[in-house]
Amino acid sequence: GSETSAGRICQYRYERGILKRENDMYFTFDAYKNLISEIVKHGYAITDYHSYQTVKKPCILRHDVDMDLKRAAAFAEMEAGLEEGVKATYFVLVSSNFYNLFSRENQELIYRMIHSGHEIGLHFDEKKYMTEENFDAELLKRAVVREVKLLEDIIEKPVKVVSIHRPSKKFLESEMEFEGIINSYDSMFFQKFKYISDSRMNWREPVEKIVAGEKEEALHILTHPFWYSDTEKTMDSLLRNFIIKAQKERYLTIKDNFSRLDDVLCQEEFL
């Protein structure tokens, strides 16, 4: 029946999640630390979108924060503590349904990233403003500038780089330029750099082999801090725990703003 089919699908997803695909490194802090060590060992200089022209064999580290600022802040502090002295660019959304950059807690998380020495860039959600069918380059440019100013007000620092969240084909083909703001999807960072991403918890190409091969003159590596933990975890378990944790966080938020909540809802149901 449907229950049996659903069970088989879930089991398949679980089994697939724990297998290490050919192109994958493990999604653990230790595996990431080892990747950074290998990058430096093989002659690459970790840099950013502003200084890559001043070093030989540059490697830009880009991190997109799609869902969880807490995990991103922890990742930023882990990264800053590496002996290689890693400084990366963390791109955050101002229009996320998962986190509110204006809240005190989330502002403190952003400051933790900044105090760790990292740069904060804008992660811009194109689909908030348009579909690919009604793509409007000028509207998009104005919206990016507006969101950059908003993010600058929040973090009280200049924002000089933007990455597009799930960019459309039309955006990628448009070669978009923003005045005073670097577009991480500029053709420069794809044609002269080897771009490698861990999107959907899957390296499209074998990042460790590419680094060790030393054939690429420049690297542009995108990672998502959400996928990394102390120990190897499956994609489904990470997503499931994130959803379950949201229930606890929502309860505690209501408790802070609602007198005698325990008279209405039992705390043990949610914690």
Percent of the chain whose predicted confidence (pLDDT) is above 90: 79
Inform me whether the pLDDT recorded for 164 exceeds 90: yes
> Which pLDDT does position 23 carry in this prediction?
59
> Which pLDDT does position 84 carry in this prediction?
87
User: 39 to each of 77, 98, 184, 220, how far by Cα in Å?
Assistant: 19, 32, 20, 12
CA angle 150, 141, 62 (to 5 degrees): 70
Work out whether the CA dihedral 253, 256, 260, 262 comes out positive or negative.
positive
Specify the range with the lowest mean pLDDT, choosing from 2-16, 40-54, 74-88, 254-268: 2-16
Model confidence at 184, pLDDT cuts 50, 70, 90, reads very high
Task: Encode pLDDT of 14-36 as tens digits.
Answer: 444 444 555 568 999 999 999 99
Q: In 165-266, at which residue ranges do the beta strands (DSSP E only) sit? A: 182-183, 194-197, 219-223
Inform me whether the pLDDT recorded for 224 exceeds 60: yes
CA atoms within 13 A on the CB side of 141: 10
Contact 19, 11 (CB under 8 A): no
Task: Encode pLDDT of 131-140 as tens digits.
Answer: 888 999 999 9
Instruction: Kindly give the pairing relationship between strand 45-47 and strand 58-65.
Output: parallel
pLDDT averaged over every residue in the chain = 90
Percent of the chain whose predicted confidence (pLDDT) is above 70: 91
Rounded CA separation 75/63 (Å)? 10
> Which pLDDT does position 205 carry in this prediction?
94
Model confidence at 6, pLDDT cuts 50, 70, 90, reads very low
Top-confidence residue, 230 or 263: 230
